[in-house]
Amino acid sequence: MIKPTPNPPIRLFTVADGISSEDLLVNLSETLASANALSCDLAFDLEGPKREELLGVAQLIELAQLLADRVHAGAEPASAASSG
């Protein structure tokens, strides 16, 4: 019998509990910066539509970086939040 929906994928990676939001945002920013560098480096080795597609991905990564930076700028430091 064929199942109507497949099993959900097994998660290979997880984020440990207890990590501060600021540390998560810093790691997110570093990951996005790495992904942007990789996509730009690869894009400049390509030509035509594939290059344009990869540069589009780089722009999406940059947008995500701007959003993460905005959240990080608005996040209260842990010491200020606890002394409130």
Q: What is the mean pLDDT of each run of 10 residues along the chain (84 residues)?
A: 80 91 93 96 95 96 94 73 53
Structural domain including 39 reads 21-74
Q: For residue 31, is it within any domain?
A: yes
Quick check: is 54 in a domain? yes
- Please give the radius of gyration of the chain, using alpha carbons only, rounded to the nearest integer: 19
Extract the tokens encoding 56: 């589009």
Tell me the HSE value of 8 on the side-chain side, using a 13 A CA sphere: 3
Residue 50 lies in a domain: yes
In this predicted structure, what is the pLDDT of residue 43?
A: 95
pTM metric for this prediction: 0.72
Look at residue 12 and tell me if it is in a domain. Answer: no
How far apart CA 29 and CA 72 sit, in angstroms, is: 9
- Domain assignment present for residue 32? The answer is yes
How much is the pLDDT for 77?
66
Residue 56, domain member (yes or no): yes
In a domain, 49, yes or no: yes
In the chain, the number of structural domains is 1
